[in-house]
Amino acid sequence: MAVVKANAYGHGAVEIAQTLIRHGVVRLAVFSIEEGIALRQAGITVSIVILGPIFREQLEDLFAHRLTPVVSDPSTLTALGQCAAKGSSPYPIHLKIDTGMGRLGLTQKELETILAKHTFPSSLRLEGLMSHLADSDGLDPDSTNQQITRFERAITAISEEGFSVPMIHLSNSAGIVRFPSAHYSLVRPGIMLYGYHTLPHTAQAPDLRPVLSLTTRIAQLRLIQPGDTVSYNRTFMAKRPTRIAVLPIGYSYGLNRQLSNRGHVLVQERRAPIVGRVCMDMVMIDVTMIPSVTVGDEVVLIGQQANERITADNLAEWTGTISYEVLCAISPQIPRLYRSA
């Protein structure tokens, strides 16, 4: 089950979904009904699981677009059951139990109540049972092993009540790599599809390559003098004659404002520091040490030039976050260009 939520982690949900399907993926996961509908409207017909919560007024849309809900609370199960009763065959759903994430999911008790009272609606078909790992990328495997134990308890309860569930799934990217005994019938890779992982240094990491590059171009060059300042609030002051390049990308495009006076970009196969505050649609860099740069030169924010490389992990380090947030912050306004591998 390929996870393409958040615009496929910023990569473009439709194109990524189409590419994955071409490579044999038969099941996608997104967060919201709206994301699911967008994929349907782009002509994607494979099974789409909605990982996020569902509100009553969305149920008609869910059925109309053949989206598969994940049910995390008893009242949604009842509402879905009533709505599905109008259909001709049982509607597939996945049940989610909370084994330690502390987010969505039925408790073991709620699950047992549903099963014991036979309140599972006959208009629904239990296609999947799932849970989500909280610390699969943490140093200590204990809490994940505990979650696996709790998940096993739910599987046992379900089968003891005579349900046979074709799809049992637990692992995200880090879980897939570190807990191979918990693969069950499906896994849910997200970040690793895009070439990143969050494994601790102690774990054997698979050889992954980042899928995405983020580039812009030099829009203007200017020479400033000692004492001159750059950008809002004058946080950068030149100490020597300094050549400044203006780039037409800023925080509205997903370039984090924490990068003000921090971090680098690549120009002409060399590193140039970001200087001054990142603006809404622009940012400046110091290219004094790279005299050959000209207007129109490609500038790499994420990606590679010769032996120099900047990854979403580097940007995450400079801004105090994780690669996930760096990638999904890249605004849909930025044109995505796709190259077939």
Ligand X SMILES: *Cc1c(COP(=O)(O)O)cnc(C)c1O
Residue/partner pairs of 310-319 with CB below 8 Å, 24 or more apart? 310/264, 310/265, 310/266, 311/196, 311/210, 312/196, 312/210, 312/212, 313/196, 314/263, 315/256, 315/259, 315/263, 318/258, 318/259, 318/262, 318/263, 319/256, 319/258, 319/259, 319/262, 319/263
Interface with ligand X, residue 172, by CB under 6 A: yes
> By beta-carbon distance, which residue lies closest to ligand X?
190
Question: Based on CB atoms, which residue is closest to ligand X, 177 or 301?
Answer: 177
> Could you say which of 117, 196, 232, 324 is catalytic?
232
Residue with token string 């995505």: 336
Interface with ligand X, residue 310, by CB under 6 A: no
Number of residues in contact with ligand X under rule CB under 6 A:
11
Interface with ligand X, residue 144, by CB under 6 A: no
Nearest residue to 299 via CA among 313, 283, 318, 312? 283
- Rounded Cα gap, residues 54 and 304, in angstroms: 41
Length of the chain: 341
**Is residue 232 annotated as a catalytic residue, yes or no?**
yes
**Is residue 96 annotated as a catalytic residue, yes or no?**
no
- CB of 24 vs ligand X, minimal distance in Å: 18
Q: Which of 12, 36, 92, 189 binds ligand X (CB under 6 A)?
A: 189
Interface with ligand X, residue 260, by CB under 6 A: no
Measured in degrees and rounded to the nearest 5, phi and psi for residue 169 equal -145, 140
> Could you say which of 5, 194, 251, 324 is catalytic?
5
- CB of 28 vs ligand X, minimal distance in Å: 12
> Taking CB under 6 A as the rule, which mask of x and - marks residues 26-55 in contact with ligand X?
-------------------------x----
Quick one: 11 exposed, middle or buried, by C-beta within 10 A (0-12, 13-18, 19+)? buried
Instruction: Determine the interface stretch with ligand X among 56-64, 77-85, 138-146, 190-198 (rule: CB under 6 A).
Output: 190-198
Instruction: Determine the interface stretch with ligand X among 71-79, 186-194, 200-208, 285-293 (rule: CB under 6 A).
Output: 186-194
Q: Which of 173, 260, 305, 319 binds ligand X (CB under 6 A)?
A: 173
- CB of 308 vs ligand X, minimal distance in Å: 27
Interface with ligand X, residue 3, by CB under 6 A: yes
Interface with ligand X, residue 190, by CB under 6 A: yes
Please give the structure tokens belonging to residue 284. Answer: 């400046």
Q: Return the sign of the alpha-carbon dihedral for residues 87, 90, 93, 95.
A: positive
Nearest residue to 218 via CA among 247, 253, 195, 177? 247
Q: Which of 27, 132, 178, 264 binds ligand X (CB under 6 A)?
A: 132
CA 274 to each of CA 16, 111, 230: distance values in angstroms, whole numbers, following the listed order: 31, 53, 11
User: Which residues have a catalytic role annotated?
Assistant: 5, 232
Which residues lie near ligand X (CB under 6 A)?
3, 5, 51, 132, 172-173, 188-192
